[in-house]
Chain A
């Protein structure tokens, strides 16, 4: 037993040390930095009207995003989970599409569609003969609009899963006891779905709080915490940036703690026997209305993707005041692969993503193996370390790295990475730890723990057990987690915008630069490349997950 404990620690110590160094240390450095001047920076933060406004706006946007996401996600989950109507399968297929948009790409698609010179805006303006655009895509409303589109997916997925596990006999029992439709919904269905609703609402809140892309692009003069951090850093007010980051990170971690607590508090599990039969809508009129509604939702969900694809064929500079771009060409794509300045970001993103993902696979495999199969006192710490980067907003992670790895100092375990190629792979690695670790964990949890015992009992060495038993069992998770991590890293924007340099600029920064140069076609072509990668890798990952199940 003691030798096994020793072995646990020999494997665990390097991994825990690496995670402490990359995940915890930068954040601690930020917190320490915020007190560099005693309470000075904190006083400055509290006194600053800009920061107070940012904090308030962040909270308002987050709460509004939660309600908007619930308003879309819950009814959609009920409609798709409980009713049968023409077009249901198509709607189900595209319902999670917004999750496949890299953050910056979603924002750009909205700009092309609903921006001042966007297609929808112009079409309405023309149709009604208005002199000005009917709205401006700016401020809190615009940000919440984008958030609702991308984040309702959490609510939808959680509530759908809740409905799927919902035991149909409970409903039957309630109606057998004489409860009406409304009574059943109020007294049985909704209370049992509350954990799913609450959990997803909290997820949306945390995501909206840390969201960067939408406020950055649509904020106008609006301040939120995440953009304020970048502004302070750009202005050289690092002390203030540390305080802002601390506030943002701590509220997000508090959110994670609350989320975990909610999950644990769920006392009953819903178990279902077989599939529930969906009700076919009988009334012809309601059926038609439902189908029209479904069609509208499908179009609204697919439109951003289509728009990006369309614009990617638009000749740069040709689209000015027309509703749709007037000239189309394949030139944008050809240039991406032939002009070295445009090819460079693709090369950068792919190579940095591959490096980060390779590191993720090794570190997360060891961590997941220890978490699933080994009982030792460091396990709780390890679980916390791999989950934390999920809660900490990317802006906070990036600022931590900028504050920590800005000089060589072996005494404090600092290495100069800021301004080098390596800072972005490190940031991508940190951001993708939770994704890969949880994918590998879920693969390993499906493995019968006695397989490891069986292998050893048959005389296999530790290495042979790993190679022939554990790694094959982890493979579906490694593949699915690795693919998703790679694709997330290729499209990463939020940490990149804080840390990139000209020579290692990733695709997302180049999209932003092209957009500023009004080269919409080129920006869209990059975006389509990203969407294509996301879809391809997601499908591959899903097929591996299916093979796992």
Chain B
């Protein structure tokens, strides 16, 4: 279940080329930035580290890169312990958040820098740098100064610089956060394609779950230094392991439920509905304080009151391109959002809300 779709074989850390963090902890004074985090990234796999700011995702990435040494735990590559190998001898390619391109060198010297450090002669490194630039769609840009590049071009130069050294792993810190929204969409696809081609473990940090969904094979969700869940985007969306994961991933309201195994009973304003649920792996056979996640696309809405539905009042309505999203205040202080094509419902209208399609994620509270 946790193995990446494209990971070629095995799930143990001993596999050749797999990057793994094992029980890694990093403290700064009293503050624990990363708390006993473990995961692995197979060769050719893309793993996104997702979390809010302060969740420890960047520190985790820096530990993987060797810029931070964990207080406990180990980092291994292909089964070899590299915890104390300094970054300059790890041979990883890293793309920094603001790209960290050397402002006093033209594009091709930036790209060739890693080869220069490896003692590659001038002619060879320029040939390779130009090839790397071509592979990111920047043929002929080699002599341009860094300052003349757009944000998207800088990002690709940074990527070329990281890939030209034939890295053992690729690490990217918020690779898309400096791009404007329209560029971001197209860059996601390019980035995924390029990272795939390299065929090494790729680990990237993002605070944007849409970026993570679009690019990653698997997602590791961090909060306050702890790993909450690591799995495919579908796992996190449809089968969150905890209320915290459900609250972070996707939109949706989390409401109390009575766990009945295959189904769960949700009672709002005296109206009870039985919902088909997905249970987290390793969950107890009966969860005492259980909640279900009601996503906007899994609910439907109709005008007026209906006996079998949850009744409420529309407090807000916004157009979301091809559909409306209604915010509906139900009884018992529950508020849900519902996607609907019904256009003739207005703010302050009385409406009925009922489950449209399941199964609904069930999580412990």
Contacts and interface: CB of A to CB of B under 8 A. Distances in A.
Interface of A: 1, 3, 448, 450-451, 453-461, 464, 468-469, 472-473
B117 A460 contact: yes
Given A457-B94, A460-B117, A472-B104, 17 more contacts: A448-B100, A451-B100, A453-B94, A453-B100, A454-B100, A456-B86, A456-B87, A456-B88, A457-B90, A457-B92, A458-B114, A459-B114, A459-B117, A460-B88, A460-B116, A464-B116, A468-B116
B96 A459 contact: no
Contact of B98 (A450, A456, A473): A450
Contacts of A450: 96-98, 100
B29 to A, nearest CB: 12
A461 B117 contact: yes
A255 to B, nearest CB: 35
A531 B56 CA distance: 57
Contacts, number: 69
A469 B104 CA distance: 8
Given A448-B100, A468-B113, A458 B67 contact: no
A461 B116 CA distance: 11
B218 interface: no
A464 B117 contact: yes
B68 to A, nearest CB: 8
7 contacts: A1-B68, A450-B97, A457-B90, A458-B165, A459-B117, A464-B116, A468-B113
Nearest to B173: A450
Interface of B is mostly: loop
A459 to B, nearest CB: 4
A454 B92 CA distance: 11
Nearest to B98: A448
Interface of A is mostly: helix
Given A453-B67, A468-B113, A459 B91 contact: yes
A244 to B, nearest CB: 46
A184 B86 CA distance: 58
Interface string B312-352: 00000000000000000000000000000000000000000
A457 B85 CA distance: 11
A544 to B, nearest CB: 14
B362 interface: no
Contact of B88 (A459, A469, A472, A473): A459
Contacts of B256: none
Interface in B94-128: 94, 96-98, 100-105, 113-114, 116-118
A463 to B, nearest CB: 11
B113 A457 contact: no
B161 interface: yes
B278 interface: no
B206 interface: no
Interface string B73-95: 00000000000001111111110
A453 B69 contact: no
B104 A457 contact: no
- Give the residue among B91, B94, B100 with the most A Cβ atoms within 10 A: B100
- Give the residue among B69, B103, B161 with the most A Cβ atoms within 10 A: B103
Give me the 7 closest cross-chain CB pairs, A-B, nearest first. A458-B114, A454-B100, A459-B117, A450-B100, A460-B117, A457-B94, A456-B88
Interface of B: 65-69, 86-94, 96-98, 100-105, 113-114, 116-118, 161-162, 165
Nearest to A465: B88
Contacts of B96: 450, 453-454
A459 B165 contact: yes
A456 B113 CA distance: 10
A202 B116 CA distance: 51
Nearest to B89: A459
A143 to B, nearest CB: 48
B300 to A, nearest CB: 48
Contacts of A472: 102, 104
B86 to A, nearest CB: 7
- Give the residue among A1, A456, A464, A472 with the most B Cβ atoms within 10 A: A456
A56 B86 CA distance: 61
Nearest to A473: B104
Contacts of A468: 102, 105, 113, 116
A161 B102 CA distance: 31
A448 B101 CA distance: 9
Contacts of B103: 473
Nearest to A459: B117
B98 A457 contact: no
A1 B87 CA distance: 12
Contacts of A457: 65-67, 87-88, 90, 92-94
A448 B146 CA distance: 14
Contacts of B93: 457
A472 B165 CA distance: 23
A545 to B, nearest CB: 16
B266 to A, nearest CB: 48
Nearest to A2: B69
Contacts of A461: 88, 117
Contacts of B69: 1
Contact of A455 (B98, B104, B113): B113
Nearest to B70: A1
A1 B84 CA distance: 9
Nearest to A446: B103
Contacts of B100: 448, 450-451, 453-454
B156 to A, nearest CB: 16
A469 B102 contact: yes
A3 B67 CA distance: 12
A6 to B, nearest CB: 13
A464 B103 CA distance: 16
A271 B161 CA distance: 37
A469 B103 CA distance: 9
A458 B89 CA distance: 9
B337 to A, nearest CB: 37
Contacts of A460: 88, 113-114, 116-117
A84 B221 CA distance: 59
A458 B165 CA distance: 8
Contacts of B68: 1
Nearest to B67: A453
A412 B293 CA distance: 76
A472 B87 CA distance: 22
B87 A453 contact: yes
A448 B97 CA distance: 11
B166 to A, nearest CB: 11
A451 B88 contact: no
Contact of B94 (A1, A454, A473): A454
B117 to A, nearest CB: 4
Nearest to A475: B104
B94 A459 contact: no
B98 A458 contact: no
Contacts of A459: 88-89, 91, 114, 117-118, 165
B262 to A, nearest CB: 50
Contacts of A451: 100, 102
A468 B165 CA distance: 18
Contacts of B161: 458
Contacts of B89: 459
- Give the residue among A1, A458, A468, A469 with the most B Cβ atoms within 10 A: A458
Contacts of B86: 3, 456
- Give the residue among B91, B97, B101, B117 with the most A Cβ atoms within 10 A: B117
A420 to B, nearest CB: 41
Contacts of B165: 458-459
A450 B61 CA distance: 14
Nearest to B119: A459
Contacts of B118: 459
A458 B113 contact: yes
B74 to A, nearest CB: 15
A460 B112 CA distance: 12
Contacts of B162: 458
Contacts of A469: 102
A458 to B, nearest CB: 4
Nearest to B94: A457
